[in-house]
Homo-oligomer: A and B are copies of this chain.
Amino acid sequence: MFALANHVNSVLVNSLLNKITSSKDVKILSVDELTALAKEIREEIVCNLNKTGGHLASNLGIVEITLALHYVFNSPTDKILFDVGHQCYVHKMLTSRRDQFDTLRQYKGLSGFINPLESEHDAFLAGHSSTSVSLAVGMAIARDLLSQKHKVIALIGDGGLTGGMALEAINHLGHLGKDVLIILNDNEMSISENVGGFSQYMKRIKETYFYRDIKEKIHQIEDKLDQAPLDTDLRTMIELVKKEAKAKIETPGIVFEKLGVDYSGPIDGHNIQAVIAALNEVKDKNTPQLVHIITQKGKGYAPAEQNAIKYHGVSAHSLEPALAEPSAKNNEPVPYKAQPVKTKGKTYSEVFSQALIELAPIEQNMVVITPATAEGSGVVKFGKAYPERFFDVAICEQHAVTMAAGMAKAGLKPVVSIYSTFLQRAMDQVIHDVAILKLPVIFGIDRAGLVEDGETHQGVFDIAYLRSIPNFKVLAPKDAIELRNMLFSALKNADGPVAIRFPRSQAIAAENMQNNKFTEIDYANWEIIETDYSSKSGDLAILAYGSMVDTGIQALKLISNKSNGSEPSLPILINARSSKPLDEFMLNVLFKSTKKMITLEEACLTGGFGTAILEWASNKKLKDPKQKQPEIFCLGVQDQFVEHGARNILLQNQGLDPQSIANFINTITA
């Protein structure tokens, strides 16, 4: 624990951190100095994240491991692969990026994840979990084939290890016998609390019949052996074997050994001397090694130690008073002034979770599944209310989806709450296990659209890949009320897979929600939005999908303000809530009555909602060659990976903000 006064002193007066200009500078420090440096780093992380927001608990937990890695190994020659990559802050501070830390996760600032485009010390890019061991195996193969000499190190958490891909990679690594070092950072927790998982079986092992039974027998033998006239040598030997066998059997070691990876540990991850010693021990071995290090998420910052889940990610200016930003002008600590917390509306995640809770009594066979995103998606609340109907399966998207398929086949109504980018992990399961049999699995697709986290987390592909799957319905609500009603309707009908996508943002019209009231909607019937700025017919039709309905309204407002809203020029605005199936009746009417059409979506243009309209138009041309068609213009996310930064900036860059859309409308109607 540290207080503000210490922090200011260390930063300004006697800072070791100021002396670290590159990771090489770590190597000349003593253990005492490294310990002091660890403390300074923690202080700076807390202060910085109070400015920028970011992943707090995991970075506080990994300070000593990161220091030890740079102490023992030589980055960038040795390749250090951070799994997920959000625990890279210490690494960034040590590799010449400390100065830019106040730009963390800001547009054009430091990425919140590792990225080789940012530094040669970032050996790869990562934002999703469980990839590091596969990358390490690939890089080790390359190193050996190219006759290079360096270490390849995968730093993976116990949460990441629940991902099937990491297990595939360890299995393969054991088979190959390549020189790869895996550091298992075991904090017994992924984003939510871990499920299954290697870290858990130290607990479980003691409860299994086999071990109880064997142990009991061993105790009986020991009692008898104690009385038997054995010589000292033999007694020493027996003790030695018992100790070694016990150490192997009572840690996860034996599983890794069985898979061909040598195991050592567990090591106290906050004892820097112990961590350095453990790394030095395996440094020169040229076979697969795993060092098991136990850490505590949030280490050194009391609130995060006590509730690491809450402090997994923090917003700017949300931390406790005693740790606020010091005044740079004055060596004296400045009393913390609490930032006025904006009274936020509900997010779509919260609306979705609340709807699940309200629907639970009506839909007795509904169950909810989440792959380690219970907190982020808000469904943790459902889990608390209905624990027996809630399944957090750890970082196992594939298993989550196929398990849901099994449930649906057996009569349940599973709702899979999952982020758009993470559903990419289960594409095959969606096709092979859910869609072919047309099973009623509902996908609540959170973070669909642009998010501040950057390239790895942009939820822009879901419409394109889900729309190509037969039997799927792909929906997006315009607001909180529609989200609730879509979920209600999908559960009620339960006639096949339904995806409901919603963005990471505050929900529109959340204040109008009436608890416990749901209305069935026919989502294949689109809705005409009537406002002062749109009409029921016109030369121009705007088909807006999901989050873009509200943006469309704002855009029309801007135009109307300029044009004084002369009635004939008003376009028709459609809430095209289903990109599959399309509302063919409405499209037929619109194709006859409008000259131009704009589609709006917060997703990649290639294969997206707008494309669905183009495909429909092409089909219609075939059936009805004489019918004149409107010109169709599609707005959405361009064919590029979108960087990190505030969502409104990203939307603006893609021309998906109200002003850009208004400008576009003006251009094509000019």
> How distant is A360 from chain B, measured CB to nearest CB, in Å?
12
Asked whether B172 lies within 8 Å of A467 as measured between CB atoms, the reply is: no
Asked if A9 is at the interface (CB within 8 A of a chain B CB), the reply is: no
Find chain B residues with CB under 8 A from A610 CB.
618
- Size bracket, chain A contacts: 35 or more
A399 touches B237 (CB 8 A): no
Asked, given contacts A241-B217, A255-B255, whether A432 binds B127 with beta carbons under 8 Å apart, the answer is yes
- Assess the B135–A405 pair: CB atoms within 8 A: yes
Residue among B398, B414, B465, B634 making CB contact with A134, cutoff 8 Å: B398
A-B contact sample (10 more), CB < 8 A, given A138-B408, A168-B393: A138-B409, A139-B406, A139-B409, A145-B367, A168-B399, A214-B244, A464-B468, A465-B465, A470-B639, A622-B668
Q: Is A228 located at the chain interface by the 8 A CB criterion?
A: yes
A32: shortest Cβ distance to chain B, in Å?
35
Contacts of A260 in B (CB 8 A): 196, 201, 204, 208
CA distance in complex: A195, B125 (Å): 27
Stretch at the interface among A50-58, A66-74, A311-319, A625-633: A625-633
Report the minimal beta-carbon distance from A282 to chain B, rounded to whole angstroms. Answer: 13
In whole Å, how far is A199's beta carbon from the nearest beta carbon of chain B?
A: 11
Contacts A145-B389, A254-B254, A255-B258 given; indicate if A403 touches B169 (C-beta within 8 A): yes
What's the nearest-Cβ distance from chain B to residue A254, in Å? 6
Q: Does A245 contact B (CB under 8 A)?
A: yes
Report the separation of the CA atoms of residues A162 and B406 in the bound assembly, to the nearest whole angstrom: 21
User: Nearest Cβ in chain B — how far from A497, in angstroms?
Assistant: 13
Interface of A: prevailing SS = helix
Copies in the complex: 2
With a CB–CB cut-off of 8 A, which chain B residues contact A409?
Answer: 116, 123-124, 135, 138-139
Interface assignment of A234: CB less than 8 Å from any CB of chain B: yes
Contact A142 B407 (CB under 8 A): yes
For residue A127, which residues in chain B have a CB less than 8 angstroms away from its CB?
Answer: 432
Q: Report the separation of the CA atoms of residues A139 and B412 in the bound assembly, to the nearest whole angstrom.
A: 9
Nearest first, the 3 closest Cβ-Cβ pairs linking A and B are A164-B164, A138-B406, A142-B410
Is A338 part of the binding interface, using a Cβ–Cβ cutoff of 8 Å? no
A606 interface residue (CB < 8 Å to B): yes
Task: Indicate if A647 sits at the interface (CB-CB under 8 A).
Answer: no
Cβ 8 A contact of A174, one of B196, B220, B224, B254: B196
Cα-based distance from A108 to B247 in the complex (angstroms): 59
Contact string, A578-617, partner B, CB cutoff 8 A, digits 1/0?
0000000000000000000000000011111011101101
Q: Which residues of A in the span 354-396 have a Cβ within 8 Å of any Cβ on B?
A: 365, 367, 388-389, 391, 393-394, 396
